[in-house]
Amino acid sequence: MYKIIAIDIDDTLLNDEREVTTGTQAAIAEAVAQGVLVTLATGRMFASARNLAKQIELNVPLITYQGALVKNLMDDKVWYERFVPQDAALRIDEYVRENGLHLQLYWDDRLFARDDNDKVKEYSELSKIPYEIEPDFANLLKRPLPKMLLIDEPAKLDAIAPELRQVAGADVHMTKSKPNFLEFMHREGTKGCALQHLAATLGCDMSQVIAIGDSWNDREMLEVAGLGVAMGNSVPQLKEIADFVTLSNNEDGIKHVIDKFVFGRS
């Protein structure tokens, strides 16, 4: 009997129209009624994940910022929290400034950018969260940051990733949630670490956990879950390590998993 289902949002829960289908929403509601805790595990900010969770009527701790923050929906209780080490944050920012890259910072569940450009505008539209322009990051970099995000062309990010890996250091987890998003968190700020903490807090064995995702940043939670599921539209690397590959996000892949593994339907 599976007791927890952790679901990524973008390109997993949401279809290409950025909607939760009625079939998927009904399947989630049925699982919740059966006593399964269904949560979201996303790179998005808590404020963004909270809006979607309310839409599909979830009232549970949410895994956000790639796992750097687990926070309860009802009372804002923090269950788990990790921040980018300050010395690493300063090194990453220095590299960004020297190379003219676009960096976004997150503090107090608010989104900050240095410049008002298309990258932050498109990100804000995607996450449905407002942004603030702060030309001087000096004070922000002294604050507890759950995540730092670079946005650029996929090929450029892939080219500079090895160098940034050295700049960030061993205490930083670096991953991609989308081809054009390169993200930095504390080394324990992963969906896998957060999901393990959530399960332990709830007294649930990891063998009773399903994790469902589509991208590189979902790898850690698929690896620790009893059943790691890749969407049909997943990146090839995730399908390789998944226990099961479901239908795509446009084919009610979430519903297919719930029907098959929670209710035993063919």
Q: Which residues are catalytic?
A: 8
Judging by beta carbons within 10 Å of its beta carbon (0-12, 13-18, 19+), is residue 179 exposed, middle or buried? Answer: middle
Q: Which two tokens stand for residue 83?
A: 């921040």
Q: Which two tokens stand for residue 51?
A: 């809006």
Residue 103, H or E segment: strand 102-107
Give the separation between CA 59 and CA 74, rounded to whole angstroms: 6
**Are the C-beta atoms of 80 and 202 separated by less than 8 Å?**
no
Residue 88, H or E segment: helix 86-99
**What length is written for the chain?**
266
What 8-state DSSP symbol labels residue 260? I
**DSSP per-residue string spanning 175-218:** EEEETTEEEEEETT-SHHHHHHHHHHHTT--GGGEEEEE-SGGG
At 153 the three-state DSSP class reads coil
